[in-house]
Amino acid sequence: MVNNPILLERLQKRLGYTFQNSSILQQALTHRSFGANNNERLEFLGDSLLGMFIGERLYEKFTNATEGELTRIRSSLVKGETLAQIAREFELGDCLIMGEGELKSGGFRRDSILADAVESIIAGIYLESGFETSRKVVLNWFSSRLDSLELAQTGKDPKTQLQEYLQACGAPLPKYGIETLEGEAHNQVITVSCEIQGFSQPFTASAKNKKQAEKKAAQLALNAIKAEKNG
């Protein structure tokens, strides 16, 4: 299976990096359900690189933070949920290569698969262009999240952060609602919306349960608020 070249071109524009060797990108996007030449080994390498890039940046940013605090912040940035959010921002799911069964079961929407693909792409960039280039590209992906981090906020989930921010501004609290329920009862995907004052469109996110979906939608709202403030 060869991926759609138009989709790959759009993806690379969103990534901020164009692969000279397209086969590396193809492999990074290939799930194990498609065959032996998949992204599992790239994922292993990308996970290590991501932890190093983010860890170094946090060490520089929070000069008075303890080891425990730095570890907690790094975990919040490199966890699967965050990587899946980034993947959705890139519309990466449209470019995944997977077996028919995984495709039909909605694997292109699954957090774990999206997160693995992001890590695999990181490894692909590193293998093609080296440490400095891959570091620069990856930190650019995380720039808005890194710039908006505050040490006091890192232990709080996105719903709590969003609520506290809106309360501090005297704005109405967010309104959450279920948009869709897809899949069988044992493997449902729930999409929720988060409406906040000042934005014409709600923020939507999907997960296997309502609580996680609301957290993801709240994070998208927080990202939009911070981007608007920094804009």
Binding residues: 43, 116, 119
Single out the catalytic residue among 9, 47, 69, 195: 47
Decide if 119 is catalytic: yes
Alpha-carbon distance of 57 to 162, in angstroms, equals 24
Specify binding-site residues for Mg(2+): 43, 116, 119
Single out the catalytic residue among 81, 111, 119, 214: 119
User: Which residue, among 113, 92, 110, 104, has the nearest Cα to 39 in the 3D structure?
Assistant: 113
Asked if 219 and 158 touch (Cβ cutoff 8 Å), the reply is yes
Alpha-carbon distance of 31 to 9, in angstroms, equals 20
Decide if 89 is catalytic: no
Q: For residue 66, how many C-alpha atoms fall within 13 Å in the half-sphere facing its CB?
A: 5
Residues 6+ positions from 202 with CB-CB distance below 8 Å = 177, 193, 194, 195, 217
Task: Encode burial over 192-205: b for 16+ CB neighbours within 10 A, e otherwise.
Answer: bbbbbeeeeebbbb
Question: Annotated active-site positions, please?
Answer: 47, 119
